[in-house]
Amino acid sequence: SPRGGDADGEIVAAAAAAAGIEDTPFVFLDRATPSYTAIIERDGNLVIALADMELYRLFSPRRLQQRAMREAMAAAGLVLADANLPAETLAAMATAAKAAQVPIAGIAISPAKVVRFRESLSTLAFLFMNEAEARTLTGTAPENPADWPAALRAAGLSAGVVTRGGRGVIAFDAGGAALVTPPAVPALGDVTGAGDSLASGFLSAWAGGATIGEALRHGVAAAAITVRSPLAAAEEMSQAALADALSLVPEAEILS
């Protein structure tokens, strides 16, 4: 990911090292590190957020041609990209992943940015989005949530996950669709990061061979841990915590 040569960039580097993440950024010394600033209500819900993602524009497709990037792509079990990247870079990344026979998934980020995946929809293993982002892709707003898979397939997406706040989350692929209703959360800490956590839990389980319904349950469990935390990335996230949260998530309802 692109990063600036500032104090925020150093914070990111230190956090990655502490988490055991192999961190290989593209550093632009004269630029500011992208940032996300959110104002949260006392009940944990988002009021407004400001995102400074200008630096991502400099992550052009040619960056993917660097040897380190090509080797990382070839060695990966899964690639995950979000729509902060330029559309042409996402398309090039999807093409490179397909050539390396590595599944690639996407995170929509926002209704304004999800359209950057349009050229890559048929290549994605999964696209994670909320209903507003799904409406942008499809131009429709199904009254029945079970109709989202058909609408998104018609738009060119073969597999995806649609979140609906505290209501049922829908996942679909070529084999069918499933819905999981999130368990009630006694008190919200911070909703920031919930969607990313859901994608993380889902993909971790899916990459391990779980069915789409079980993968969705893992994603919902990870999101439940995150929204209870006052931090965007819950410090208590662990396999043990995930197992405890999973016990509270109901079985998936198979839609088709």
Query: How many Cβ atoms sit within 10 Å of the Cβ of residue 208?
Result: 11
What's the chain's average pLDDT? Answer: 92
Tokens of 244: 């405890």
Extract the tokens encoding 141: 């707003």
Residue 186 reports pLDDT greater than 80: no
- Round to whole Å and give the CA distance between 254 and 171: 10
The string of pLDDT tens digits covering residues 67-80 is 888 898 889 999 99
- Please give the average per-residue pLDDT across 245-252, as a whole number: 94
3-class DSSP state for residue 161? strand
Tokens of 34: 């992208």
Among 236, 231, 143, 220, which residue's Cα sits nearest to residue 192? 231
What average pLDDT does this structure show over 79-101? 95
Write down the pLDDT at residue 199. Answer: 97
Render pLDDT for 8-30 as a digit per residue (tens, 0 to 9).
999 999 999 998 998 888 999 99
Please count the CA atoms within 13 angstroms of the CA of 131 that sit on its side-chain side: 16
Q: Is the pLDDT of residue 234 over 90?
A: no
**Average pLDDT over every residue of 120-145:** 94
pLDDT at residue 230 tops 90: no
pLDDT tops 90 at residue 191: no
